[in-house]
């Protein structure tokens, strides 16, 4: 694993005691259709938090607002206590936001070129190379395919590349949107294990995950969304002890919850 080398003296340093990532009062629409209504959450430094809820309630939309990929109609987003509501994605990344959203890659570029692209903002070039090597060492499958165009990777390999890109950036807070979709459970398990290890090293994590049980086995707290609003926030310990409450929050079992 790479060691953290963010310079606390830079202008991108977080405010002391501030949450790693937070948002409040987020309203967001696609055209005339409003999808998020006053949504807010907090991910504290070093914490691992899940965002759960049935399909189509707005989880991915909220993650896109946090990443700066969608502009909210109202509300604010803070990274390390600094208001980034109007900031572009690249500034949010510089402030410590890493994101694994979908399987986005530069498809005509090779695996290594994709990773170098994400290391371009690291001023220390030796460390940038070290970061790329470290990311490849985590996934031997990717190292074996390092000169292959990203477009030729399998779904699981693309998720590995997406996570590797986040590792290269060495984020303060990592936002992960659904590894589970279309991937073998063993691959998802490996990716989530890596996210857990990143969290142990101090990276705060906000995780959207289809399997409630998997999420609750990893996170400290979970937020639940319903129709574009956060309707509950409870600790994993509380939720694990009350499966009926979890089923109720997941609105009639849209998502698998083990008995
Ligand atoms: N680009 C878009 N244009 C129009 N509507 C969209 C767009 N993206 C999402 N939506 C709609 O916004 C709503 C919220 O979608 P979103 O993907 O945020 O939900 P989600 O909770 O992440 O769902 P899932 O768990 O199924 O991934 C849905 O009704 C969806 O159809």
List the domain range (segments joined by +) for residue 242. 21-106+174-249
CA of 55 to the centre of ligand 1 (A): 8
Whether 256 is in a domain gets the answer no
> Domain with 71 in it: what CATH number?
3.40.50.300
Beta pairing class for 204-208 and 48-52: parallel
* Residue 58 CA, closest ligand 1 atom number: 18
In the Cβ-directed half-sphere of 120, how many Cα atoms lie within 13 Å?
7
132 in a structural domain:
no
CA distance 11 to 28: 29
The number of domains in the chain is 1
Please report whether residue 245 resides in a domain. yes
Query: Where does ligand 1 bind, in terms of residues with CB under 6 Å?
Result: 30, 35, 53, 55-61
Query: Does the interface predicted TM-score (ipTM) exceed 0.85?
Result: yes
Task: Specify the ligand 1 atom closest to the Cα of 31.
Answer: 4
Token representation of residue 239: 């939720």
Q: Considering the domain boundaries, does residue 133 fall inside one?
A: no
Is residue 182, in this structure, part of any structural domain at all? yes
* Ligand 1 atom 7 nearest Cα: 30
pTM above threshold 0.90: no
In a domain, 167, yes or no: no
Q: Tokens at residue 51, please?
A: 């965002």
Q: Which residue has the tokens 């998720």?
A: 159
Beta bridge partners of 226: 229
Residues 6+ apart with CB under 8 A from 193: none
Residue 232 lies in a domain: yes
Measuring from atom 6 of ligand 1, which residue has the nearest CA? 30
Structural domain includes residue 184: yes
In tens digits, the chain (259 residues) has pLDDT values of 444 444 444 456 667 788 999 999 999 999 999 999 999 999 999 999 999 998 899 999 999 999 898 999 999 999 999 999 999 988 888 888 887 765 555 667 898 888 887 776 666 667 677 778 877 887 888 899 999 998 898 888 888 888 888 777 778 899 988 876 667 777 778 778 878 888 988 899 999 988 888 899 999 999 999 999 999 999 999 998 998 988 888 865 444 444 3
What angle, 0 to 180 degrees and rounded to 10, lies between the N-to-C axes of helices 111-119 and 155-169?
30
Q: 10 Å Cβ neighbour count for 82?
A: 18
Q: How many CA atoms lie within 13 A of 204 on its CB side?
A: 20
**What phi and psi values does residue 258 have, to the nearest 5 degrees?**
-65, 145
Atom of ligand 1 nearest to the CA of 64: 18
Query: What torsion, rounded to 10 degrees, do the Cα atoms 168, 172, 178, 179 define?
Result: 40
Go through the chain and tell me how many residues it has. 259
| Token duo for residue 243 | 């499966």
């Amino acid at each position: 694993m790479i060691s953290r080398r963010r310079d606390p003296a830079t202008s991108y340093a977080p405010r002391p005691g501030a949450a790693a990532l937070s948002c409040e009062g987020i309203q967001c629409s696609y055209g005339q259709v409003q999808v998020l209504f006053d949504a807010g959450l907090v991910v504290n430094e070093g914490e691992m938090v899940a965002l759960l809820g049935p399909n189509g309630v707005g989880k991915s939309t909220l993650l896109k607002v946090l990443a700066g990929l969608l502009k909210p109609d109202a509300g604010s987003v803070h990274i390390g206590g600094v208001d980034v509501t109007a900031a572009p994605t690249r500034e949010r990344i510089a402030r410590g936001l890493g994101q694994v959203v979908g399987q986005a890659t530069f498809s005509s570029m090779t695996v290594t070129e994709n990773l170098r692209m994400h290391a371009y903002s690291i001023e220390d070039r030796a460390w940038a190379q070290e970061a790329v090597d470290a990311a490849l060492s985590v996934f031997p499958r990717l190292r074996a395919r390092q000169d292959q165009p990203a477009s030729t990777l399998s779904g699981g390999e693309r998720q590995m590349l997406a996570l590797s890109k986040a590792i290269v950036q060495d984020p303060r807070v990592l936002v992960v949107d659904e590894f589970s979709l279309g991937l073998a459970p063993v691959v998802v398990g490996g990716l989530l294990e890596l996210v857990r290890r990143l969290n142990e090293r101090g990276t705060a994590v906000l995780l959207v995950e289809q399997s409630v049980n998997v999420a609750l086995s990893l996170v400290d707290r979970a937020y639940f969304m319903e129709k574009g609003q956060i309707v509950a926030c409870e600790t994993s310990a509380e939720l694990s002890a009350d499966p009926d409450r979890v089923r109720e929050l997941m609105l009639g079992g849209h998502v698998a919850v083990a008995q």
